[in-house]
Structure 1
């Protein structure tokens, strides 16, 4: 057995451990990784500080937070008392105070369902997802509208504020995605009649402004249904928003379908799979994964466009804040109201954007470099 060689010379000096971890490591690697970049970073921070400091001073340092009347505001900074004094109206609109627990219940259920489906390690996601698609809408309908199981009926004309914004956004998102997928598949169909109907539908709804769609849904839709069928204003707006955004969603999904190589579907066809099995198990999962950014971008645009329901007499979050500004007791506080509305919209839109990025990283299988 050969003898093992023993090193007798000194080992050469090695580089120190990588310190580019944590906050300080990220700063060194991205902002201060050289003299020029360090100078540019300091200059940008100085400009941001010079520009943002007055905003911070107005919104936080000199702001008034406590109180219930206009007299509680000193006038030196933002008067957030306007928001706190009208908080219930901003959240619930004109919903009866005795029944607002029903709105809170629906909000809590929606938050729990989103959290359950978003956290990876929680079990029974299939059943929770099925309940979110089938059971939750029925429960929310009964609780919010009332008139069943001894609950007081609350007509949709009394809905408003944040609850109305979330209702329109959630219904529009849940309704436009599956309808958009069906339209995208129909536009790629080999049957001329199906393809023609889908093309006309998509191009028509994409060719008119959403404001026009809301007017049509509010004024013209009742003319095409029997007189004994009653469509309230909110339902008409929901139908118009779903149709409008499903056309945009169809084009997003169609882009994903065209990105999938034909060999995928041909291989599934060679295995004897039918059309719907090929689409549901092979093609659509890959296509939807590729167009997650486009889908979420459409969701964000839909959420922001919920403020347009004001033109048909529905008071969403922004409309409720604007109506509060006409109160003689709160004249002159438009800036606070609009800043608060912008912040609320930004929170929801930014949350959707960040979650979509998480989904992209989780489903990444090498399609992107």
Structure 2
């Protein structure tokens, strides 16, 4: 203490010190841009390149989709350059004129309330099941996996016992078929993929061998080949006189194809679980089904959320391949509508495909956005 209080150790300020400048702002848009866009030479160059791409690409896209687009008309003359007097962009008049065909295909016009009701029932199930804070989410699973399939079949195909006349799948088309094929593939591929992943890790040799052969065979064959096999060979396995609906065949092929890929994604999550989790569950006396249901699978599925969603997105886009076997999905309806002589115009060919691209982008972006929001929420809960 003496050393501290001696005069030699005392400090007396003899001159005033200039005030320091105010601290650099740490919040607001300027600070965000400095931190995320211009934090270093490489980041700055990447930002400038991205701005160049945006400036180069966005104006022509705006001109095509909005600026020079044609919104009204009754035939192809409304979308011809020589008629309107300028270079025509997207012909949205054609899309609007064919919108019912793009959505329902050839489904009878007087019965289109049934697909509309199907969209509503299916949409409610999706929102209820995916809304993490929704009330009674246990009932949501029962509603989606039990009620929705039965109601969808009755509404779309028909159920004469309750007054819904039969509408053959040959009349279905457009967005309706795209959603049906993708929904069936997604709903079946997840539980079947889990079963295949568990079977591949099983200690029973026969079960493991069957699962390995199925997964490797399906993953080694292109989807288009699977669809052709399902379309031509599936009826051969049926009894004499038993026919398989033309839409059911690609549904089976798509579901099996997606299940094989889903199994590998989930197997990666199972392998990422530490061995201590299995040992801890066994020490508590949990049986194998309970251990998987309560301990292992929830953690494994959380780990592979990006892989699962990526598989769903790929499946949703791959549904366009069902047109190869004669199913009128959205792409097939666009191809059929653009050859209508009434709408003979150069921009019509591109406008239908532009509409399909926007539809697929919005659906895939929605799935990706939801998966990222779930990941952020789970990451935040782990930090607590």
Q: Does 1:187 align with 2:194?
A: no
Aligned to 2:329: 316
Shift of 1:239: 0.7
Q: Using a 3 Å threshold, how does the CA distance of structure 1 residues 185 and 58 change in structure 2: closer, same or farther?
A: same
Instruction: Give runs of aligned pairs for residues 77-96 of structure 1, distance below 5 A.
Output: 77-96=89-108
SS at match of 1:233: coil
Tell me by how many angstroms 1:228 deviates.
Answer: 3.4
Q: 1:13 to 1:295 in 2, by over 3 A?
A: same
Equivalent in the alignment of 2:141: 129
Aligned to 1:6: none
Q: Judging changes above 3 Å, is the alpha-carbon distance between structure 1 residues 65 and 285 closer, same or farther for their aligned structure 2 residues?
A: same
Partner of 2:342: 329
Tell me the secondary structure at the aligned position of residue 244 of structure 2. Answer: coil
**TM-score, structure 2 as length reference:** 0.87
Question: Residues 365 and 49 (structure 1 numbering): CA distance in 2 closer, same or farther, change over 3 Å?
Answer: closer
Match in the other structure for 1:362: 377
**Per-residue deviation, residues 23-78 of structure 1 (Å, max 9, x unmatched):** 55533432355798667645642443133312211221111111232222253222
Match of 2:212 among 194, 199, 209: 199
- Is contact 2:219–2:260 with CA below 8 Å preserved after alignment? yes
Matched residue SS, 1:104: helix
Secondary structure, counterpart of 2:112 in structure 1: helix
The one of 65, 75, 81 aligned to 1:69: 75
Map of 1:333-352 to 2, 5 A cutoff?
Answer: 333-352=348-367
Verify the 8 A CA contact 1:260 1:283 in the aligned structure 2. Answer: yes
Change (3 A) 1:44 1:211: closer
The RMSD of aligned alpha carbons is 2.3
Which is greater in Rg? 2
Render the CA deviation track for 1:265-293: whole Å, top value 9, x for unaligned. 11111111111111111111111110011
Counterpart residue number, 2:274: 261
Deviation larger for 28-37 or 267-276: 28-37
Indicate the residue corresponding to 2:57 in structure 1. 51
Specify which of 153, 158, 162 is matched with residue 146 of structure 1. 158
Instruction: Tell me the secondary structure at the aligned position of residue 295 of structure 1.
Output: helix
Q: What does the per-residue CA deviation read over 1:327-367, in whole Å, with 9 as the maximum and x for residues that have no partner?
A: 22223321111111111111111110110111111222788
Q: Residue 244 and residue 36 in structure 1: after superposition, are their counterparts in 2 closer, same or farther (change >3 A)?
A: closer
Unaligned runs of 5+ in 1: 1-8
Structure 2 counterpart of 1:290, from 271, 296, 303? 303
Q: Among residues 10, 27, 39, which one is paired with 2:33 in the alignment?
A: 27
Contact between 2:129 and 2:144, CA under 8 Å: does it hold in 1? no
Instruction: Describe how 1:94-109 pairs up with structure 2 within 5 A.
Output: 94-109=106-121
Contact 2:262 2:308 survives alignment (8 Å) = yes
| Range that drifts further, 310-319 or 35-44 | 35-44
Alignment of 1:34-45 (within 5 A): 41-42=47-48, 44-45=50-51
Cα contact 1:64–1:74 (8 A) shared by 2? no
**How many pairs align?**
358
The reply to whether residue 174 of structure 1 matches residue 187 of structure 2 is yes
What is the CA–CA distance in structure 2 between the aligned matches of 1:37 and 1:211, rounded to whole Å? 42
* Pair 39,257 (structure 1): closer, same or farther in 2 beyond 3 Å: closer
Cα 1:366–1:126 change in 2 (3 A) is closer
Question: Cα deviation per residue 1:209-232 (whole Å; 9 max; x = unaligned)?
Answer: 111111110110110111233210
Contact 1:20 1:29 in 2 (8 A): no
Structure 1: how far apart are the matches of 2:220 and 2:382? Answer: 33
Question: Counterpart of 1:364 in 2: which secondary structure?
Answer: helix
Higher mean C-alpha deviation, range 30-39 or range 217-226: 30-39
What is the CA–CA distance in structure 2 between the aligned matches of 1:296 and 1:290, rounded to whole Å?
A: 12
3-state SS, counterpart of residue 146 of structure 1: coil
CA contact under 8 A between 2:91 and 2:351: conserved in structure 1?
A: yes
